[in-house]
């Protein structure tokens, strides 16, 4: 929102009518000047018809208390203390406030003023245009109806009705409220402005659109024009993202924004959704922090990647224009073909790379992968390559519950259609592989040590293996196998920790709701 909205909403300028302040005693409307006079009586009592000399450019002039009234002609009812002025009606109060109209009906006793036809109120740089403007002084209420338009140096506000309560100092705009500003446009059903606190409050469906494409939709909210702070219930949408929440807070002066309760952040271009309890955004730094059961969903072709953690932090690098997502503590991921756990994670959104730190463990099909750090490279919304560094260990279980194992300093697993195609082991390579006859009989166990090895897979099963740099191997038949032979040093089977989608999302039906919102 814009500071200039303050000036626009100040319908306190209706005080041109308010200035008919109640007097201690009823005072008669006084004639100041007229060119001609006619008098008579009718059923309403004695009347006087006053006219100005239009050929000489003179009008009839009246005064009531401290307000001057000018018109081409006027019927004055002396008994009822009323005035019906017509033709180029002009009311002046002080040095700056002027209102003109085609007709004025004014009751000096009830203090009710009714202006009709081409009503124009001006005060310095602000103008009010309407066809009907009334002020009920005993009720301390000024209002227009049948449509009105307010103009100042930067704003245009239109609404069907407008009210000004002189006691509470609150201006109310109702029905089809529109605000046009060089920086934004606004549509609302009901808009309130407190001229003392300088706070705008809106109710009902409200939409604010900025020139850069940012859109705010809300059912209710407030805007503190002095502090430049907004609180709404609804959503904010830009060409790049959507933010929803039960409570949205914007501090334009500090470039700080916050969402609470049932929040949902959607990155349109990336098909990425984040839900949680609290989201904070520091605009100048390009940093967003989400906590309170946060869950990220990356919509992929035919699948969804879910990620949850204690805290998610999104960073927009102003220098490189690249975007990063950091997750830390109790990080869990789930995809139909990949699951994982780690303490900390970094997601380079533009490069489609996930970096897992601090005790990471991954599963792909029947394969369990553990290392000091694990990097996952995505391409075309699919796993392209997985790189494990530092005590890398891959384990899979066969149909006889034997554990096939691969170990090395680094292991690179290359994928095809989200399944392992081949594995490269570099440095201190070790492997244990159980040879089966069919799926029911173990023939023996192969144990290999070498500097490097290359393994190729077909349908998730090892098809060929090549060993490089001083390979040492042996084949152990079943009857010679000892328990110590079956496992490499560092072996650990952690299948019970493998996360499910429910464990990651922590929310019932979250996927269904979010994917429908994306569509």
CATH number belonging to the domain at 360-500, selected among 3.40.50.150, 1.25.40.10, 3.30.420.10, 2.60.450.10: 2.60.450.10
pLDDT at position 67: 81
Q: Per residue in 220-239, pLDDT tens?
A: 888 887 888 889 888 888 77
Mean pLDDT calculated for residue range 378-383? 84
Q: Using CB atoms within 10 A of its CB, is residue 408 exposed (0-12), middle (13-18) or buried (19+)?
A: buried
Kindly report the average pLDDT of the chain as a whole number.
84
Q: What count of other Cβ atoms lies within 10 Å of the Cβ of residue 489?
A: 9
Backbone angles phi, psi at 16, to 5 degrees: -55, -30
Q: Percentage of residues in the chain with pLDDT exceeding 90? A: 40
Please state the rounded mean pLDDT for residues 346-353: 89
The predicted structure's pLDDT at residue 94: 66
Q: Is 6 helix (H, G, I), strand (E, B) or coil?
A: helix
Quick check: 507 pLDDT over 60?
A: no
Chain segment 130-147, per-residue pLDDT in tens: 999 997 767 777 789 999
Contacts of 232 (CB under 8 A, 6+ apart): 206, 216, 218, 220, 221, 222, 247, 248, 250
Q: Are strands 170-180 and 373-379 parallel, antiparallel or unpaired?
A: unpaired
- Which residue do the tokens 């002027």 mark? 98
Query: pLDDT tier at 12 (50, 70, 90 boundaries)?
Result: very low
Rounded to the nearest 5°, which phi and psi values hold at 179? -125, 130
Q: Is 70 exceeded by the pLDDT of residue 119?
A: yes
What pLDDT score does 183 carry? 80
**Range from 69-83, 313-327, 395-409 carrying the lowest mean pLDDT:** 313-327
Q: For residue 516, what pLDDT band results from cuts at 50, 70 and 90? A: very low
Indicate if the alpha-carbon torsion angle 106, 111, 116, 122 is positive or negative.
positive
Q: In whole angstroms, give the CA distance from residue 358 to residue 326.
A: 14
Most confident of 179-193, 369-383, 453-467: 369-383
pLDDT category at 126 given cuts 50, 70, 90 is low
The structure's pTM equals: 0.71
Does 125 have pLDDT greater than 70?
Answer: no
Radius of gyration of the chain from its Cα atoms, rounded to whole angstroms: 39
Which positions ≥6 away from 91 have C-beta within 8 Å? 16, 67, 68, 69, 70, 98, 99, 100, 104, 115
Q: Is the pLDDT of residue 9 over 50?
A: no
């Amino acid at each position: 929102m814009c500071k200039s909205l303050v000036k626009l909403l100040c319908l306190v300028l209706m005080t041109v009518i308010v200035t008919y302040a109640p007097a201690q005693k009823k005072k008669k409307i006084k004639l100041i000047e007229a060119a001609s006079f006619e008098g008579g009586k009718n059923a309403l009592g004695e009347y006087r018809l006053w006219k100005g000399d239009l050929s000489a450019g003179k009008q009839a002039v009246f005064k009531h208390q401290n307000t001057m009234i000018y018109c081409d002609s006027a019927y004055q009812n002396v008994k009822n203390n009323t005035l019906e002025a017509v033709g180029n009606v002009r009311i002046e109060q002080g040095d700056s406030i002027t209102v003109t109209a085609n007709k004025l009906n004014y009751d000096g006793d009830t203090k009710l003023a009714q202006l009709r036809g081409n009503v124009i109120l001006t005060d310095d740089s602000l103008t009010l245009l309407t066809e009907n403007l009334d002020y009920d002084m005993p009720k301390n209420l000024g209002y227009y109806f049948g449509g009105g338009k307010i103009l100042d140096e930067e704003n245009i506000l239109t609404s069907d009705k407008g009210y000004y309560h002189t006691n509470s100092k609150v201006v109310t705009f109702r029905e089809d409220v529109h605000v046009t500003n060089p920086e934004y446009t606004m549509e609302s059903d009901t808009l309130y402005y407190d001229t003392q606190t300088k706070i705008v409050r809106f109710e009902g469906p409200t939409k604010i659109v900025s020139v850069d494409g940012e859109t705010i939709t809300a059912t209710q909210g407030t805007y503190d024009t002095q502090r430049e702070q907004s609180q709404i219930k609804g959503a904010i949408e830009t060409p790049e993202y959507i933010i929803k929440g039960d409570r949205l807070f914007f501090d334009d002066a500090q470039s700080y924004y916050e969402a609470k309760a049932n929040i949902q952040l959607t990155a349109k271009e990336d098909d990425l959704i984040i839900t949680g309890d609290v989201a904070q955004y520091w605009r100048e730094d390009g940093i967003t922090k989400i906590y309170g059961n946060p869950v990220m969903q990356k919509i992929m072709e035919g699948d969804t990647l879910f990620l949850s953690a204690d805290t998610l932090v999104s960073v927009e690098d102003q220098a490189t224009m690249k975007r990063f997502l950091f997750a830390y503590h109790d990080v869990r991921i789930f995809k139909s073909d990949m699951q994982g756990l780690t303490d900390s994670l970094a997601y380079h959104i533009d490069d489609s790379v996930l970096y897992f730190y601090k005790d990471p463990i991954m599963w792909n099909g029947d394969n369990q992968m553990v290392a000091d750090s694990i990097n996952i490279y995505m391409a075309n919304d699919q796993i392209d390559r997985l790189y494990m560094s530092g005590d890398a260990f891959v384990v899979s279980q066969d149909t006889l519950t034997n554990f096939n194992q691969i170990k090395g300093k680094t292991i690179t697993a290359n994928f095809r259609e989200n399944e392992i195609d081949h594995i490269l082991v570099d440095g201190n390579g070790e492997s244990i592989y159980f040879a089966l006859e069919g799926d029911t009989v173990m023939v023996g166990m192969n144990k290999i040590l070498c500097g490097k090895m290359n393994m190729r897979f077909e349908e998730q099963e090892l098809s060929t293996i090549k060993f490089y740099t001083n390979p040492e191997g042996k084949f152990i038949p079943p009857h010679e196998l000892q328990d110590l032979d079956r496992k490499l040093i560092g072996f650990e089977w952690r299948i019970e920790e493998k996360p499910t989608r429910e464990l990651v999302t922590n929310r019932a039906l979250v996927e269904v709701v979010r994917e429908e919102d994306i569509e």
